[in-house]
Amino acid sequence: MKNYKRPIGILVLLMVLFVALAPILAGAESSSSTLRADLLRYDPYPAEIGAYVDAWIKIENFAAGTAEDVTIKIEPDYPLSLDSESNAMENFGILPPDRAAIHEYRLYVDDGAKAGTGSFDILYRSSDESSWQESTFNIKVGSTTFDSKGTVGLSNIIASPEVFMPGDEGSVSFTLKNTAQQSTILIDDVNYDTFARVQSATLIGTDMITVTSQPYEGKGVLGPGDFVQVTYNIKVSDSIEDGT
């Protein structure tokens, strides 16, 4: 009987070790899937033919664990090309949970390009042992038509002072934010980017409240989640009645 107990015990031990190691190996193979790449914005908008365009890429770790050696690589398609092939890859190193890193790429739009859309792939991985994941992004080239589908919302209204009295001068600030959460959206089987452009923003006064600042003139575009804070100076009439 003793001759059979030892092999069985060893076999059970090996099976337990194999089962315990399996999740670890699976996690190593799929760890890059816990990263997400987004195109924050690019400038100028649209990209100009025969000129450079700067694109800001965000890589985010939304896992519970730390990504030990995060690397991204860009692969542009015609009419886009890198200013230098040596700049294709960027290593961020350690990226803790719920943290993000941003890298700026400079691309060149070919002189012979036509107005339309240019695209590039962003490859990313959590370590040298992980497989590459890939996301494709589009930018507008040479066209002044703005057909992006981002949505701008108004939030964080701040008055200084908090309570205005007759004759007071102060300021009112608010945030304009692109509320889109993804870089693209599918509408009627067509992919649109979710950038948003604020051409201008005007605060209109009343008979008793005068806005002394010029309207805000928008510059560039807001990527998903991007925001801009706008501030206006105001003057309250001496004859205004108490209230709201």
Those residues whose C-beta lies under 8 Å from the C-beta of residue 231, and which sit 6 or more positions away, are 171, 172, 173, 213
Report residue 40 as tokens: 């924050």
Percentage of residues in the chain with pLDDT exceeding 90?
A: 38
23 Cβ partners below 8 Å, 6+ apart?
none
C-alpha distances (whole Å) from 6 to each of 18, 20, 191, 216 are 19, 21, 63, 81
Please tell me which residue, 193 or 109, carries the higher pLDDT value. 109
Nearest to 143 by CA among 111, 120, 116, 118: 116
Confidence of residue 27 (pLDDT cuts 50, 70, 90): very low
Say whether pLDDT at 4 is over 50: no
**How do residues 149-194 score in pLDDT, each as one tens digit?**
888 888 888 999 988 999 999 999 989 898 988 888 888 888 788 8
CB-based burial, 65-91: b 16+ in 10 Å, e otherwise: eebeebbbebebeebbebeeeeeeebe
- Residue spans of the domains in the chain: they are 31-141, 152-236
Examine the pLDDT at 114 and tell me if it is beyond 60. yes
Q: Taking residues 220-234, what's their average pLDDT?
A: 85
Which of 42-51, 125-134, 216-225 is the least confident region?
Answer: 216-225
Distance CA 89, CA 56 (A): 14
Residue type, 94: I
Quickly state the pLDDT bin for 196 (edges 50, 70, 90).
confident
Give SS3 for 30. Answer: helix
CATH topology of domain 31-141: Immunoglobulin-like (2.60.40)
HEC secondary structure over 185-239: EEECCEEEECCECCCEECCCCCCCEEECCCCEECCCCECCCCEEEEEEEEEECCC
Q: Where are the beta strands (DSSP E) in 16-151?
A: 35-43, 52-61, 67-76, 80-82, 89-95, 99-109, 116-125, 133-141
Cis peptide before 96 (omega within 30 of 0): no
Q: CA 59, CA 27: separation in Å to the nearest integer?
A: 19
Tokens of 26: 């699976």
pLDDT at 197: 77
In which band, very low, low, confident or very high, does the pLDDT at 43 lie, cut at 50, 70 and 90?
Answer: confident
pLDDT of residue 25: 34
- Residue 6 pLDDT > 60: no
The arithmetic mean of pLDDT across residues 60-76, rounded, is: 92
